[in-house]
Every structure is written in structure tokens, then in C-alpha cells.
């Protein structure tokens, strides 16, 4: 056992039980034995442009050679942070909005929750503090995000969490409407992923997000989209909000914004909400040491450029067509019960514990993620047709062998 305490792992697990990844290129990883793997999870839902992209590495390296780091608390700024914010806003549903930067998706969620409550306080709605979450929603592991978890095991064991959170069944708009009917004057915001990712890959039911938008508008609440997994081409558009045609008041992002080459996250704030923050006449007392970190910002700019130049948003839709066809064939053969997804993120319902399936796929050199009775797949957007075929063939083999 080493000094390294692994996240989301048994602290008693021996270091030798882990797969030691030593090299990566494109959609392929290699461990310390020389074995190769198709990275069917894009590391952890994020490596859009693939591993080892030389243009992205050069952009970060060049920035490190000029201004590696400096804070952006007043009175300081840097041009690369301003350009990165413009690049994110330009591809978002809020091109005239503003962008706050952090390091992790968890920081972005906590930021968005704080901004939502701040806006309601500034409006004079001091009792409007309830955040409504959906079952299955994953929103990071800081205290705010843990309190916002719709995955109950992630909320337990920590003692008292942040107050004023309520949960609605994931796809039940009538239950959500009932919560608003009873608690509407106290609801500050609804927090949801456009497509629920870590909870098993569940797109929204037809009309669900539109109904959430109406409920929020009717009751003076804000609609918050967690785009940490959905963003930057993953669902077939730049953001899940665009894929499903519903515009939030604020949206968090992380992961795909740099393809993981630098730890960057943030919140896109709509023009209306930005105007409220600008009109306070007071300091925004929120921020992180590395907000607008120059090397991270260089990664943001170049990563967005690569996605545009290489047509990876469009490629996401092509990946989706191939994944959907392969999963449909497995459903027709009775190997899976159902499947769902969008673009280059998919989940298959197997109807039993999927850890043994994942383990056998690992033995055959393909990485996917088990989520109780589902298998989640989220490859880099540069994955080739041949690699997709290998993923699906390996999944079919593993499902058959473990049935």
C-alpha cells in the first residue's frame, strides 16, 4: 500500500490491484505490462480530443513558457483567461453571457448553487433557498454537490449536509410540479443534467426539460444545467442544452473543456443573470486560487479549436449512429434489456450486476464503466470505426460469457 489514497476506491485496496496506466495515444492506453486498452470511457467522461494530442500539448507548453500562473483576483487579469471565456461563451447557448472559471466540476457546481441563491437574495426573496434535484443526478463531491446528489449512497456517512435541498423522481414531471405547487415560493432553482451521465446515461423524457423550464419561469426559479459530462460535443452538439433544445439560466462545465489536459471548470451565466450580478454594486465574494489559470486557459482555447477544426461535434453524432446500431443488435439478441444515450455517450441496461462484464472486458482490453445493472460507454470523439467495432464485439463476448 502506498501513500496515495485513491478516489472512489476502497482505502484498503493494495496498489498492486490497480491497473497502472503508463502511456496513452488517441483512444488507446497502455499499462505497465505493455497491454493495450480501448479507452471506452474517455478516462472519466472527458477526453474529447483523445490522448497525446500534440497541438494541445504545445499550446499548454508554450503558455507555461510565458506566464505559467498568476491569480485573477482584482486588480489582476490575463489576456488568455479573457479569450478562453469568449471561446466558451461563443459555443454555448449564452454567447452574450459571462464565464466564471474554476478547476473541477465540483467547484463549478458549488459556484452555480451559490450564484443561484445569491441572485434570489438580491431579488429580495430571502426564503427562496430550496434547490430541487433529480434522482440519479450526479453533481460532484464538494459539500454543495454532495448535498445535491441524486445518488443516495454518495450522500450518506458525512453527517449533516447543506440544508434546503429536495429531490424529485428522475423522470416524473408531475412529481416535480407537485413540489413546486407546495414549495414554489421557496424554490431558488432546479439542478439537472440535460442527460444524466454518471447515474447510468439517461436522456430526458420527451418534453421533460421544456416542462422544467416552464415550472421555473412560472415560479421565479432558476434552471441550472450541469453540463460537466454533456458539454463540448459529447451529446452531438456543443452542449446538452442545445441537443435537447432547452436553455438554462446557468450551466456548469468541466471535463471536456480541456479534454482533461488541464484541470479547468466553470459556469456560463446568462446575460440576464449576469446583469443582476453586475447591478449589485458590490464585490462578488467568491473565487478560487486557480480561477483563470493561464496554462489551463490556453488548454481551453486550443481544445475548443481542435474540436472545431477536426469536426468532432459532427463526429460525435456519427459515433452515436454506430453505437446505437450495435446496441440495438445486442438487444435484438437478448444480451441487453435496453439502451439509451445521445451522441458519444451511451448506457446499456443488462438487468444484473455489470461488474463481472466490465472485468471481462478489461481482460480483453476494453474499458467501460459499470453502473449497478448498466454499462456506460463514453469514448473519445476521435475513436475510429474499427475501435468502436472492437468495443462492441468485446461487449457482446463478455455479455455472452457472463450470462
Q: How many whole angstroms separate alpha carbon 384 and alpha carbon 232?
A: 19
Of 122, 127, 129, 126, nearest in space to 279 by CA: 122
- pLDDT range class, residue 1, cuts 50, 70, 90: confident
Rg (CA), the chain: 21
Are 15-39+311-402 and 57-309 in the same CATH fold? no
pLDDT at 128: 98
| Grid cell digits, residue 189 | 432553482
Architecture of domain 15-39+311-402: Alpha-Beta Complex (3.90)
**Percent above pLDDT 70 for the chain:** 100
- Residues 26-84 pLDDT 10s: 999 999 999 999 999 999 999 999 999 999 999 999 999 999 999 999 999 999 999 99
Q: Residues 265-306: pLDDT tens digits?
A: 999 999 999 999 999 999 999 999 999 999 999 999 999 999
Task: Flag whether pLDDT at 9 surpasses 90.
Answer: yes
Q: Give residue-wise pLDDT tens across range 361-382.
A: 999 999 999 999 999 999 999 9
Give me the mean pLDDT over the 83-98 stretch.
Answer: 98
Confidence of residue 138 (pLDDT cuts 50, 70, 90): very high
Of the candidate CATH numbers 1.10.240.10, 3.40.640.10, 3.40.190.120, 1.10.760.10, the domain formed by 57-309 belongs to: 3.40.640.10
Cell of 89: 461563451
Q: Give the residue extent of every domain in the chain.
A: 15-39+311-402, 57-309
Is-cis flag, bond preceding 87, omega within 30? no
Side-by-side strand order, sheet with 369-371: 338-342, 345-349, 374-377, 369-371
Amino acid at each position: 500500500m502506498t501513500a496515495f489514497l485513491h478516489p472512489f476506491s476502497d482505502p484498503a485496496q493494495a496498489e498492486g490491484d490497480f491497473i497502472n496506466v503508463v502511456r496513452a495515444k488517441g483512444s488507446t492506453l497502455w499499462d505497465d505490462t505493455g497491454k493495450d486498452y480501448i479507452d471506452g470511457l474517455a478516462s472519466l467522461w472527458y477526453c474529447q480530443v483523445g490522448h497525446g494530442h500534440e497541438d494541445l500539448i504545445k499550446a499548454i507548453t508554450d503558455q507555461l513558457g510565458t506566464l505559467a500562473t498568476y491569480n485573477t483576483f482584482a486588480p489582476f487579469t490575463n489576456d488568455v483567461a479573457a479569450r478562453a471565456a469568449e471561446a466558451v461563451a461563443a459555443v454555448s447557448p449564452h454567447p452574450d453571457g459571462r464565464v466564471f472559471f474554476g478547476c473541477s466540476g465540483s467547484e463549478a457546481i458549488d459556484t452555480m448553487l451559490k450564484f443561484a441563491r445569491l441572485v434570489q437574495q438580491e431579488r429580495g426573496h430571502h426564503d427562496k433557498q430550496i434547490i430541487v434535484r433529480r434522482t440519479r443526478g450526479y453533481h460532484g463531491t464538494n459539500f454543495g454537490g454532495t448535498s445535491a446528489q441524486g445518488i443516495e449512497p454518495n450522500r450518506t456517512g458525512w453527517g449533516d449536509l447543506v440544508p434546503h435541498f429536495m429531490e424529485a423522481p428522475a423522470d416524473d414531471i408531475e412529481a416535480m410540479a407537485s413540489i413546486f405547487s407546495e414549495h414554489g415560493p421557496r424554490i431558488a432553482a432546479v439542478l439537472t443534467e440535460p442527460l444524466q451521465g454518471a447515474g447510468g446515461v439517461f436522456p430526458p423524457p420527451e418534453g421533460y426539460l421544456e416542462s422544467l423550464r416552464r415550472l421555473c419561469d412560472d415560479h421565479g426559479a432558476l434552471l441550472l444545467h450541469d453540463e460537466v459530462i454533456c458539454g463540448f460535443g459529447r451529446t452531438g452538439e456543443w452542449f446538452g442544452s442545445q441537443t435537447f433544445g432547452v436553455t438554462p439560466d446557468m450551466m456548469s462545465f468541466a471535463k471536456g473543456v480541456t479534454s482533461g489536459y488541464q484541470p479547468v471548470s466553470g459556469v456560463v451565466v446568462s446575460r440576464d443573470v449576469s446583469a443582476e450580478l453586475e447591478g449589485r454594486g458590490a464585490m462578488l465574494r467568491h473565487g478560487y486560487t486557480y480561477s483563470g489559470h493561464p496554462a489551463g486557459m490556453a488548454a481551453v482555447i486550443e481544445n475548443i479549436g481542435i474540436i472545431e477544426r477536426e469536426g468532432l461535434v459532427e463526429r460525435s453524432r456519427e459515433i452515436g449512429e454506430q453505437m446505437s446500431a450495435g446496441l440495438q443488435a445486442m438487444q435484438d439478441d437478448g444480451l441487453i434489456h435496453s439502451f439509451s444515450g445521445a451522441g458519444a455517450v451511451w448506457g446499456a441496461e443488462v438487468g444484473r450486476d455489470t461488474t463481472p462484464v466490465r472485468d471481462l472486458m478489461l481482460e480483453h482490453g476494453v474499458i467501460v464503466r459499470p453502473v449497478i445493472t448498466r454499462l456506460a460507454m463514453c469514448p473519445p470523439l476521435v475513436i475510429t470505426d474499427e475501435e468502436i467495432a472492437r468495443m462492441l464485439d468485446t461487449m457482446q463476448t463478455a455479455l455472452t460469457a457472463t450470462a
